[in-house]
Amino acid sequence: MDKKNLFEIAKKMVAPKKGILAADESLKTMTKRLETIGVESTLENRSIWRQIMVEAEGVENYISGIILYDETLRNPLPNGKMIADILKEKGVFIGIKTDEGTYKFNNHEETFTLGLDKLEKRYEEYKQMGAVFAKWRAVYKIGEDMPSKASRVANAIGLAQYALITQKAGLVPIVEPEVLVLEGDHDIEKSEEETEEVLEDVFKWLERFNIDFSGMLLKPNMVLAGKECLNQPKAEEIAERTVKVLKKTVPKEVPGIVFLSGGLSPDEATEYLKKMNEMYKSDLPWQLSYSYGRALQQEALKVWSGKSENIAQAQKVFIERCKKVSEARG
């Protein structure tokens, strides 16, 4: 592992005005997304959508890296090109989702993330295909006695083991512990507590596994109230509580924090990121940026709706959102 190289890549991934596009929806998730616009989930349709995004003119001005799903990296796009070649031409880093989803754990309402046993072997191939960074997601539910200590520790160890294998292979790990903060009726304080506990465990285990903090990125949720909570916080409070938790838990050597959008609307995800940077940017050790999936794709996906005559407009809408999010982080 070349430590300096990992740091250089991680730093570039969160360079000013830049963030990450999460286009790594699994087959199941992408099928759900396509269903919302009435499009059949065939390999061709999934590839057309991803081609629309990477071919959008100027995408490289806002997006430093794209997280891909295995099938997108492996198969030619409908235009006959490999996605890795297009991204290399545009100077966009290639990332790969390496987790294989989750399996029931503990009380069966919680989950543990699968795929550790195959990582080393898969990286040999992904590196040849051009990948320089990876992503692994652990998921935590908020509820009675959840996240449990067992799930926090198990998933933190899973994330640490993934980060270790990833750095050893010479790729930058994006460590994604996602607390499903929008699900439920809990208030923002509860989200803050749970997110803090999850992140504490994650960094405790990353440290025990000797992960080089300067060669990784953290992808957390923002601190939000559950959707059904009657007392919905304003952007200032979300920014304040989110940054407070991060300051308590994230080592200063980590070059960047790239938020997931987690079901926020594109406008909300943009607004909260903007608020955090407006209020705190000047005294934070790390960059606050984005690794949005839905918040970047949702509007454009709807415009496209599977029709070739809508592609140009979908690309325009996609780029407009990328620009807004890029300006929000500054």
- The catalytic site residues sit at 176, 219
Question: How far is it, in rounded angstroms, from Cα 9 to Cα 213?
Answer: 13
Is the Cβ of residue 112 or residue 149 nearer to ligand 13P in the bound state? 112
Q: Which of 218, 256, 220, 253 is nearest to 238 (CA)?
A: 220
Query: Which residues fall within 8 angstroms of residue 45, CB to CB, at 6 or more apart?
Result: 34, 39, 306
**Phi, psi at residue 138, to the nearest 5°?**
-110, 145
Closest to ligand 13P by CB, 22 or 84: 22
Number of DSSP helices (H) and strands (E) in the chain, helices first = 12, 10
Spatial contact of 131 and 177, defined as CB atoms under 8 Å apart: no
* Nearer to ligand 13P (CB atom), residue 211 or residue 301: 301
Query: Which is nearer to ligand 13P, 191 or 261 (by Cβ)?
Result: 261
Rounded CA separation 43/64 (Å): 25
At closest approach, how far in Å is the CB of 22 from ligand 13P? 3
Query: What's the closest the beta carbon of residue 292 comes to ligand 13P, in angstroms?
Result: 4
Cβ-based nearer residue to ligand 13P, 50 or 294: 294
Q: In the bound complex, what is the minimum distance in angstroms from residue 210's beta carbon to ligand 13P?
A: 25
* DSSP notation for 204-255: HHHHHTT--GGG-EE-PPP----TT-SSPPPHHHHHHHHHHHHHHHS-TT--
Alpha carbons 153 and 140: distance in angstroms, whole number: 11
- Describe the crossing of helices 188-208 and 235-249 by its angle, rounded to 10 degrees: 20
Q: Which amino acid is at 81?
A: K
Give residues in contact with ligand 13P (CB under 6 A): 22, 137, 176, 260-262, 292-295
Of all residues in the shown chain, the one whose CB is closest to ligand 13P is 293
Shortest spacing between CB 255 and ligand 13P, in angstroms:
19
Give me the least distance between CB of 3 and ligand 13P, in Å please.
26
* Cα–Cα nearest to 24, from 167, 135, 120: 135
